[in-house]
Structure 1
Amino acid sequence: MTLIKQRMFIERMKKRENVITMNLEENKDLTKKQEKEQKKEQKKLERAEKKQNKTPMDAAKKKKVIRRSIIGVVAGVLVLFIVISNIAAANTKPVVYTAQVSKGDIAQTLSTSGTVTSEETKTYFAPISVKVGEINVAAGGTVQKGEPVITYDQTALMNEKKTTELKLQASEGSYNSSVQKNMESIGDLGEANVNLDVLEQQITDIDNYIKELQQKVNDKKAALAYEGSLLQISLIDWADKPDSDEYENLQKLVQTNNYEQTNNKDIRAWQDEITKYTDMLSNCKEYKAEMKSQKTSADGTKLNEGGKEELEANVQMQSISSQTALDSINEVENGVLAEFNGVVTEMNVVEGATPAVGTQLFKLESTDDIKVTIEVTKYDLEKLSAGQKAVVTIAGSKYDGEVSKINKMATKNNSGAAVVSADIKILNPDEKIFLGVEAKIAVDTAKVEQTLIVPASAVNTDVDGDFVYAVEDGFVVRKPVTTGISDSMNIEITEGLEEGAQVMTEVSAGITEGMAVSAVPQE
């Protein structure tokens, strides 16, 4: 029970106590009046008795008479009190507490919690394969934009740069050498033509032999597999006699067959031979390519157009690759720099390591663009929309927020309920915010000014919809209503009531429509 509801309950109890006290005071007045009448009657009886009995009573008898008189008076008063109380209870109307329908402002708020995350995240990969010198920021540390997170060993970096420059020179020299060699190879044209015929036949023969060997491997594997399936069937047939010699023998045969399928000596020998002849075939094809290249180079006094284009393409690719490597080296001469202010959430290398090109180095998450990710159910989803303002509370500090994104696909939470995640962007982040911590969110989902409102406890619901019990001319009247938004205390009434009407804030047992009641307005 909230503090406001507790106060309202106490006030109602005080008012009920005042009504009961008033009834008791009235009963007391009636009782005192009746007591006076009894005393007068008692005195009349005493005077009459004195006249009849001239002989004075003894002290003991006198005490008995007085005691009996007092008991009679008390009993009479008690009976009278009970009768009066019953009559008063029968005639007293039930007390109900009401509130006035009034106009006011009402704001609907969605309260929940979520996790603080970054809206901008970047993963850095190794642009070069050079030894790491120093790691300046460990995982969990902060870094400012432009500061180096890691640096490379300067000696290794300079060696890599020099090597790349030499590769570029070598590529250019190789091109020049190839052109010159092409001119010198014209005399080898005859040799190339003879060798090409021989190589063509060798390649055909080797290729056919490899296919024969492969077929043997396939046939042997198929046979072993077929044998294995038959053994499995037999093993199933003997499964009801697991202790029999036949079942044990079948198990051994199955194991042997499994071994043979992967370790058969014939298959292994054929595969080794296939590998050998495949290498031979590759060499022949390579040599054939060389002879073709030699023939092409030697066919005429200059390189034909196809060979020339290929040669030029290769040298261009090598040039581009080397130049890209040089650019990467120059870019990290001062280290791998942070592109924005943030926190290093992952560090994937250590000092002294030489990561390959493309290896993940670290992950950086921005501390300038921060959000809180929340999950809402279908009941709250309809209240949420992009652009709504929010208050974000993190470790006791409050920040301005705004609904920046609502996912279009629901997921299941730990309880199995369908939820939709949404992002609340923090508009004024500072250095006190930590990523990964929990934040409390209060989103202003709706607000209406100067609308009809009643306490939320006054609205009831049944199969026919929402309704309230109003008190009109001392009688209970059921009023169907249409509600709007609500907050922790009040609810908006869009149809069914007028300003100034009195509605019951609570419906106790026995209160029905048409009943006469005594209304006690709540402040």
Structure 2
Amino acid sequence: MKKGKKRTKKTKIMIGVAAVVIVCIGVIAVFGKGSGTEETSASVEAVTAEVGDVTQEVDASGTVESNETKTYFSPVNAKIDKMDFEVGDSVKKGTQLITYNLEDLEKEDQKAELNQKSGELDYENTVKKSNKAVDKQAAAAASVDELQAMVDSQEAYVYDLKEQLSQAQLDAQNDAQAQVEQAQEEAQEAAQQAKEEYEAQMEEYSENVAAAKEALTKAEAKVQECLKAKREAERAYKKDPDNSALSSALDEATYDYEDAVAAKTDAQSNLQEVKAQIPTMDTDSTAMTGGSETGTTVMVDTSDLEVAIEQASSDLAELQSELATKKAEAEADPNALTEEEKEKMKITNNLAEMETKTAKELVIEGKKGIQAEFNGVISDSKVVEGATTTQGMEMFTIKSLDNVSVDLNISKYDYDKLDEGQKAVITIGDYTYKGTVTKISRIATPNEKGAATISVSVDIDNPDDNIFIGVDAKATIHAKEAKNVVTVPVEVVNIGKEGSFCYVIEDGVIVKKNVKTGISSDTKVEIKKGLKKGDQVLTDIGDHEEGDAVTATEEKE
């Protein structure tokens, strides 16, 4: 396009005769005006507005970049056994880049398996002990009622035996009393004396028997007390067998119990001896007083009852002790596992199992090593062969050669011509590739000269082995396109203060027409409004003015 009446530089070849004719016409026109003869129109160059296609192209240069970058991190803690690359090397997808030494990983795997097995055994053992304690408590609770019934029955039996002994002793005393009374009737003096002596002996005998029984009762009570203390010491010792104080307490309780049993035996022997010393009546005294031959001695043997009572009391004491033990077991805490403790142990075992799986997975990962996931070039490396890596450690970076683009900087005057998806031709050295606009930045940045530019990314559709990252490239973007539109050469459109306009020949006269332009190429511009197909448009108004009569002559290159 041009401003005002600036003349477009073109080389025009005009036929000589036509030139002479034009000159003559001009002379005639000048003199004709002065002489009043008819005016003759001048010839001017013009082009015809046509319907066609206009394609807008934007040229730019930039740098080849990779759209896909992969930084690899070590998946395991292991030593690099083999590393087959250097920075700048191109690699193919699937190429083995890193091989690990798996010795330490396999040891960790074995350790994890042993820890898991140990946890499982601990859980099984603890559960078995817990179940055994619970079963023992349940059995003790079940036997309490049975033992209580046996104790009640034994207590009744002992009571009955004691009642029989008391009755036998009472009957013996009654018989003795009757004999004394009968002797008194036959021989008052002798009988009275014998009675007094006998009563005195019987009183002493009864006191001795009562004292021996009391001593036996105390001895039996002492046995029960010591037995109870011994069982309590045994239970305490079983709970903490390593406690020396509890061990000493158990020994002392045992000694006390044995002493009490010995004392009980002595009391029983003493009772028998005392009972054996039961007094008898002096029949000689009765005979002397009255010559009577009816002297009577009454004796009753209760030793069997006393032995039965002793045995029954001992059995009762044992039953009572066993009942107390079972009650204590039934009421004691069995130290059974709670559901929360079981769940915690299960979680611990699950964690150990997860660690085992993780260790196995790490071994698997270590065996895999690291392979290239796509075709690319090694752009950075932070490890060397023989180095020991830690899990998550950055190792190296690959830039893809299959997914590449050219980063262009577009002038602020051209960015509005571009849209994503537009096609382009990219030139890298001696190679040409097809491309597609994939990204247009929405922020302008100044270049090294301070001019505002827009960053545009053009993907290379058909990359090959001749692509190098970071090299310069040129791109021609096929920007906007208009089809079947009115077009004119770009040089016939003028630009004034009020916008674009053209000089058109209508009815042989120059007319100025304002036009609305669209997209343009290097040679043609789209006319959206102001012109129609077939209009004759002046290429250069020259010295003419609007309203001059002219004749159109087609422009020739």
Equivalent position amino acid for 1:512 in 2: E
User: What is the correspondence of 1:359-378 to structure 2 with a 5 Å cutoff?
Assistant: 359-376=393-410
Q: 1:305–1:416: structure 2 CA closer, same or farther, 3 Å change rule?
A: farther
Aligned match of 1:102 in 50, 53, 64? 50
Bigger-Rg structure (1/2): 2
How far does residue 500 in structure 1 lie from its aligned partner after superposition? 2.7
Q: 1:370–1:24: structure 2 CA closer, same or farther, 3 Å change rule?
A: closer
Equivalent position amino acid for 1:136 in 2: D
Equivalent in the alignment of 1:134: 82
What TM-score, normalized to structure 2?
0.53
How far does residue 517 in structure 1 lie from its aligned partner after superposition? 5.4
Equivalent position amino acid for 1:410 in 2: I
Does the 8 A contact of 1:128 with 1:325 survive in 2? Answer: no
Counterpart Cα distance in 2 of 1:165 and 1:513: 100
Aligned match of 1:389 in 395, 419, 423? 423
Aligned match of 2:104 in 151, 159, 166? 159
Q: 1:512–1:314: structure 2 CA closer, same or farther, 3 Å change rule?
A: farther
Equivalent position amino acid for 1:129 in 2: N
Does the 8 A contact of 1:470 with 1:501 survive in 2? Answer: yes
What TM-score, normalized to structure 1?
0.56
Equivalent in the alignment of 2:435: 401
User: What is the correspondence of 1:211-250 to structure 2 with a 5 Å cutoff?
Assistant: none
Equivalent in the alignment of 1:246: none
Aligned match of 1:150 in 77, 80, 98? 98
- What does the per-residue CA deviation read over 1:322-369, in whole Å, with 9 as the maximum and x for residues that have no partner? 422322332332531112222222222112211211011112222222
How far does residue 449 in structure 1 lie from its aligned partner after superposition? 3.4
Equivalent in the alignment of 1:521: 554
Residue 45 of structure 2 corresponds to residue 11 of structure 1 = no
User: What is the correspondence of 1:216-295 to structure 2 with a 5 Å cutoff?
Assistant: none
SS at match of 2:343: helix
Aligned match of 1:357 in 391, 414, 428? 391
- What does the per-residue CA deviation read over 1:13-49, in whole Å, with 9 as the maximum and x for residues that have no partner? x54x9599849998xxxxxxxxxxxxxxxxxxxxxxx
Counterpart Cα distance in 2 of 1:417 and 1:128: 50
Equivalent in the alignment of 1:427: 461
- What does the per-residue CA deviation read over 1:43-62, in whole Å, with 9 as the maximum and x for residues that have no partner? xxxxxxxxxxxxxxxxxxxx
Aligned match of 2:545 in 507, 512, 515? 512
SS at match of 2:486: strand
Q: 1:23–1:96: structure 2 CA closer, same or farther, 3 Å change rule?
A: closer
Q: 1:18–1:499: structure 2 CA closer, same or farther, 3 Å change rule?
A: same
Counterpart Cα distance in 2 of 1:367 and 1:486: 36
Counterpart Cα distance in 1 of 2:450 and 2:436: 28
SS at match of 2:402: coil
Equivalent position amino acid for 1:369 in 2: N
Q: Relative contact order: is structure 1 or structure 2 higher (C-alpha 8 Å, sep ≥ 6)? A: 2
Does the 8 A contact of 1:406 with 1:422 survive in 2? Answer: yes
How far does residue 126 in structure 1 lie from its aligned partner after superposition? 0.3
Counterpart Cα distance in 2 of 1:420 and 1:315: 60
Identity in percent: 35
Listed as ranges, the gaps of 5+ residues in structure 2 are: 2-7, 131-237, 244-331
Q: 1:315–1:481: structure 2 CA closer, same or farther, 3 Å change rule?
A: same
How far does residue 518 in structure 1 lie from its aligned partner after superposition? 6.7
Alignment RMSD:
4.1
Q: 1:465–1:105: structure 2 CA closer, same or farther, 3 Å change rule?
A: same
How far does residue 515 in structure 1 lie from its aligned partner after superposition? 3.8
Q: 1:372–1:25: structure 2 CA closer, same or farther, 3 Å change rule?
A: closer
Counterpart Cα distance in 1 of 2:461 and 2:105: 45
SS at match of 2:11: helix
Q: 1:394–1:516: structure 2 CA closer, same or farther, 3 Å change rule?
A: same
Counterpart Cα distance in 1 of 2:385 and 2:16: 82
How far does residue 177 in structure 1 lie from its aligned partner after superposition? 4.2
Equivalent in the alignment of 2:335: 301
Equivalent position amino acid for 1:364 in 2: I
Counterpart Cα distance in 2 of 1:404 and 1:132: 40
Equivalent position amino acid for 2:488 in 1: V
SS at match of 1:346: strand
Residue 446 of structure 2 corresponds to residue 410 of structure 1 = no
Equivalent in the alignment of 2:166: none
How far does residue 163 in structure 1 lie from its aligned partner after superposition? 2.6
